[in-house]
Amino acid sequence: MYDWLIVGAGFAGSTLAERLASVRNERVLLIDRRPHIGGNAYDRYNDDGLLIHQYGPHIFHTNSQQIFDYLSRFTEWNFYEHRVLAQVDGMLVPIPINLDTINRLYDLTLTSDDLEKWFAARAEPVEEIRTSEDAVVSKVGRELYEKFFRGYTRKQWGLDPSELDKSVTSRVPTRTNQDDRYFGDEFQFMPKHGYTRMFERMVDHPNIHVMTQTDYRDIRDIVPHRRVIFTGPIDEFFDFRFGKLPYRSLGFKHITLDKAWYQPVGVVNFPQTEAYTRITEYKHLTGQEHPKTALTYEYPSAEGDPYYPIPKPENQELFKRYERLALATPNVWFVGRLATYRYYNMDQIVGQALATFRRIGDAVPLPSDQMVVEVIRSKASLAS
C-alpha cells in the first residue's frame, strides 16, 4: 500500500514526492506516462553528446531564496543570464525592447531620458489594460507592438493578442536602459549537470518508487494507494466532463550542425517571418564545450501534448468549474501547470508544490501522529 500515488514526474510531482518521502517518511509511487522523469524540463544528451532540452529551452530564474535553496540540495549551478535577440526588419535587436533596440532599429542616438519621452509620445492611452494588445500598445505604441508582438503572439497562440489576457505579453518588460537580459530575477542559473540529473537526485529515496511509461488510467484501480497527487491536465482527470480545456502545443525540430556556433545568443525570436517562433542554441545555456552545436526550432500547434494553458477569460471560467470539482474530490490534490491551469514558470511550480506540501501537513497528520492516535483508539477498544 502506497501512502501516495503521484501522477507526473515534473517539478510539481518530483518536489512533492521528495518532501513526502523524506520529511513525512511516507511511501510514494511516482509515475509518468512519458519514458522519463523531469516533465517538460527533461534534458538529455543527443547522439553527438550535446546536452539538449527535449521540450524546448528551460532557463531557471527566480526571486525566491527559499526555492533556490530547496533546489540547491539536488544540484550545483552554472551562472547564466539569458539573452534573446529578435529578427526585426532584417536586423537582430535585443528583446525585451531596450535603449539599444530603439537606437539600432531607427538609427538614433537617444539617451534613456529621451527614450522615456519617445515611448510616451507613441504610447496609446488605454482606459483599462485587459488584453495582451493593451499591455504593449499602452507602453510603447502600435508600431513596436506590430513589429515585436503581434506576429509572434499570433504564431505562438493561434490568437490575436487582443484575445489573450494581459498577463501573456506582460511577461516581457520594456526597458529604457541598456540591460539586455531576458529576465531581471535575483537568481539566474542553470543546473550544472542538467535538469534530468537534478530530478534523479530529487527522487533518489528509498521511500520513492518511480515508474515511467505508466498512465494513471492504467494503474489507478490496480495499485493500492491512500491518496493521489495529480499534476496532469485537470480536464482529463475528470474525463472532460465539462468539455476540453484548451492548451497550446508545440512541435520541436532538433538538429545538430557540424560547426561550433550558429547564433550570437541562446535564443533568437522571429516575430515577423518564418513558421517557427524561435531558435535555441543550447551551448549558450549549458556552457558545454563541443565542436558541434545543437539547435531547436519551435513550431506552435493546436494539436499535440499540452504545454501552455491559454490565458483567456472563458478558459478561466471553464477551469473554475473543474476546480470546484477538484475541491470536492477527497484525497486528491491537484498541483502544477496543467492541473491548476496556470502559465507558471518552473520556480513558481516548485513554490506551489512546497505550499501544497505545507497544506497537506495541515490536513493530514504525520504517520507517527496517526499511529499514536490509532494505538490510543485500539487500546480504548480493548479496555471497553
Binding site for ligand UDP (CB under 6 A): 86, 95, 148-149, 152-153, 156, 168-169, 171-172, 269, 271
Closest approach of ligand FAD to the CB of residue 33, in Å: 4
Name the one residue in this structure whose C-alpha cell is 531607427: 106
Rounded alpha-carbon distances, angstroms, from residue 229 to 141, 226, 259, 326: 45, 11, 45, 11
Q: Return the number of the residue (10 or 191) whose C-beta is nearest ligand FAD.
A: 10
d(CA 180, CA 352): 29
Q: How many CA atoms lie within 13 A of 373 on its CB side?
A: 7
Of 4, 55, 74, 270, the one binding ligand FAD by CB under 6 A? 55
Pairing of strands 91-95, 60-62: unpaired
Residue 172: contacted member of ligand FAD, ligand UDP, none (CB under 5 to 8 Å, by partner type)? ligand UDP
Q: Give, as ranges, the residues between 226 and 285 that touch ligand FAD (CB under 6 A).
A: 231-232, 250
x-marked contacts with ligand FAD along 303-332 as a string, rule CB under 6 A: ----x-------------------------
Report yes or no: 129 and 166 within 8 Å, Cβ to Cβ.
yes
By rule CB under 6 A, what count of residues binds ligand FAD? Answer: 34
What is the four-CA torsion angle of 375, 378, 382, 384, rounded to 10 degrees?
A: 120
Closest approach of ligand FAD to the CB of residue 182, in Å: 9
Closest approach of ligand UDP to the CB of residue 298, in Å: 8
Residue 171: contacted member of ligand FAD, ligand UDP, none (CB under 5 to 8 Å, by partner type)? ligand UDP
217 secondary structure, DSSP code: H
d(CA 132, CA 39): 28
d(CA 154, CA 162): 10
Residue 86: contacted member of ligand FAD, ligand UDP, none (CB under 5 to 8 Å, by partner type)? ligand UDP
Q: Which of 357, 367, 307 is nearest to 66 (CA)?
A: 357
Q: Is 32 in the site for ligand FAD (CB under 6 A)?
A: yes
Stretch that binds ligand FAD, among 162-170, 260-268, 317-325, 342-350 (CB under 6 A): 342-350
**Residue 297 phi/psi, 5° resolution?**
-100, 135
Closest approach of ligand UDP to the CB of residue 151, in Å: 8
Q: Is 216 in the site for ligand FAD (CB under 6 A)?
A: yes
For residue 109 the three cell numbers come to 542616438
Q: Which of 235, 212, 248 is nearest to 56 (CA)?
A: 248
Closest approach of ligand UDP to the CB of residue 152, in Å: 3
d(CA 14, CA 89): 44
Residue 152: contacted member of ligand UDP, ligand FAD, none (CB under 5 to 8 Å, by partner type)? ligand UDP
Pairing of strands 278-281, 267-269: antiparallel
Of 10, 161, 194, 246, the one binding ligand FAD by CB under 6 A? 10
Q: Return the number of the residue (61 or 227) whose C-beta is nearest ligand UDP.
A: 61
